[in-house]
Structure 1
């Protein structure tokens, strides 16, 4: 995967005991427990501009594929839909758009979760940037990646977006009900 990235980075955790790094913070800061196979539009925790200046925390642009590298969350993936910062347990991959569709990479990592997770090392089965960068990925032509992404994103929306999936499911069940209602309540006239 490293060959399709413009940049691979990790973040940092500003010292928790320093209120000036967190109090009234406005900089989105992502922790691995929020990396759960979805798009990230906001973070639970914010850090301050001072934390950015005084620690190794740094901005990553939107649409990076983020892979958790630590413990129970290792190998889970997400895509940040806003610029944000992350802790050091996130491997942030900025995908080269000339080589790969970032959504395709996200779906690939998600589909290969068990395989990637099995590469974990140590007592906590941690991953690292080197393991992730060397993880193989099939790279079809961009047009095919786009087609795959279209199908998978549409399916994901049907399954996970209540405003799309639930109405579609209700409509399907309504048609099914009407079909069986009509079949069960339609009787042939008895011949006399």
Structure 2
């Protein structure tokens, strides 16, 4: 369990320390344009919250309520949690516990260095318990955006080499600029609109990924829709290793094989004199390459054109496909749990992390092998879905960049909220 602290944002007009007039771009300042430069402690009530009230009959009559811990805090809305706690369970846990108000903003007091844990409790949720919270009654959404956008400041304040530690004094001194309520609401609406687009694209990409996994059965099907005849992989490829000596003064590009058939990774260039290997395996376009070590994790793939000529150690045997086998089809086969399960069942060794799969054992794996035209049809269908997923994920990344720049500009007052709403 993580330690938390709770504050509740009270009436801003009562607690304002000083006001700074910030004119919007191209206009003069007015009372509606004033921002408050203050600290969290000046606008927060740390006494809010408390243990469950005696009137909470669900809890005190033997029921239970949701229980939030640090793993539920993911710099966004508080995740739905299946964790529940009873009155007895609550009493057995040390430290401060608080009822989390709806709309509360949570900030972890402990966690990994370089990562702040910030979340907001959805307004429609039931009351949950956490070990202390930062909760707001006014401008909760705006406060969440501000803290989330300045989490780097939280990390700078934190103490500890491996475990970050933030105390109440640090958080109460946390600076915050608060605009008038209408401006807060407009900032939240603008960022919320971008968040909505991101969520929609992520949902579409996730749905396509599920569809792609379901469509993998096409890899084994004939034109009639039946599963093709199973044959050993020795019928579709053969061991074909090309070795090259490591020579001083010669640059080589090192490749690694990712798990789950996810492809290759460029591990950078090196000089032949900088390795203990006397020779290494050369990867060639459209070959199959696997990692013998930890083979049950699915480290197998087709070598794409951009990795032609890269090298890898002798832990990475290579195989050349025979005529009639489509490389695109084989690339998708390498991404199927069906192949990984076969690989896992054949690994040898006594120590789990040192178990290996030899080339001969891989070639003995039997899988349904349809005709080449059927292979190509299946690969084309899966490629089309994959292209859509890649495009959607790229769109999400672009929107995240836009959101970060937009939020920084709005909170830093370099972007006028009116121009942001108009798309200017």
For normalisation by structure 2, the TM-score amounts to 0.32
- Name the CA shift for 1:146/1:137 in 2 (closer, same or farther; >3 Å): same
Larger Rg over CA atoms:
2
Which structure 1 segments of 5+ residues have no match? 13-23, 174-192
- Name the CA shift for 1:62/1:96 in 2 (closer, same or farther; >3 Å): closer
Query: Higher RCO, 1 or 2 (CA under 8 Å, sep at least 6)?
Result: 1
8 A Cα contact 2:68 2:130, kept in partner: yes
Residue among 61, 73, 96 paired with 1:35? 73
Distance apart, 1:67 and its partner CA: 0.7
Aligned length: 152
**Is 1:94 the equivalent of 2:152?**
no
**Is 1:84 the equivalent of 2:128?**
yes
Distance apart, 1:110 and its partner CA: 0.9
2:173 paired residue number: 134
Distance apart, 1:11 and its partner CA: 9.1
- Name the CA shift for 1:110/1:36 in 2 (closer, same or farther; >3 Å): same
Structure with greater strand percent: 2
8 A Cα contact 2:65 2:85, kept in partner: yes
8 A Cα contact 2:77 2:119, kept in partner: yes
Q: How far, CA to CA, are the matches of 2:152 and 2:98 in structure 1? A: 29
1:68 paired residue number: 108
SS at match of 1:27: strand
List, as ranges, runs of 4+ consecutive aligned residues in structure 1 with deviation greater than 3 Å: 6-12, 52-56, 161-166
- Name the CA shift for 1:115/1:30 in 2 (closer, same or farther; >3 Å): same
Distance apart, 1:5 and its partner CA: 2.2
8 A Cα contact 1:158 1:165, kept in partner: no
Alignment map for 1:16-31 (pairs within 5 Å):
26-31=64-69
Deviates more, 1:138-147 or 1:38-47: 38-47
- Name the CA shift for 1:157/1:164 in 2 (closer, same or farther; >3 Å): farther
Distance apart, 1:57 and its partner CA: 2.8
SS at match of 1:121: coil
2:99 paired residue number: 59
CA offsets, 1:28-71, max 9 Å, x none? 11111211111125224211122345654332211110011212
Q: How far, CA to CA, are the matches of 1:10 and 1:122 in structure 2? A: 28
Q: How far, CA to CA, are the matches of 2:198 and 2:142 in structure 1? A: 18
8 A Cα contact 1:28 1:42, kept in partner: no
Distance apart, 1:162 and its partner CA: 4.3
RMSD: 3.1
Which structure 2 segments of 5+ residues have no match? 1-39, 52-61, 206-387, 392-424
- Name the CA shift for 1:162/1:155 in 2 (closer, same or farther; >3 Å): same
CA offsets, 1:109-146, max 9 Å, x none? 11101121111012322112221121001111111010
Residue among 149, 153, 175 paired with 1:111? 149
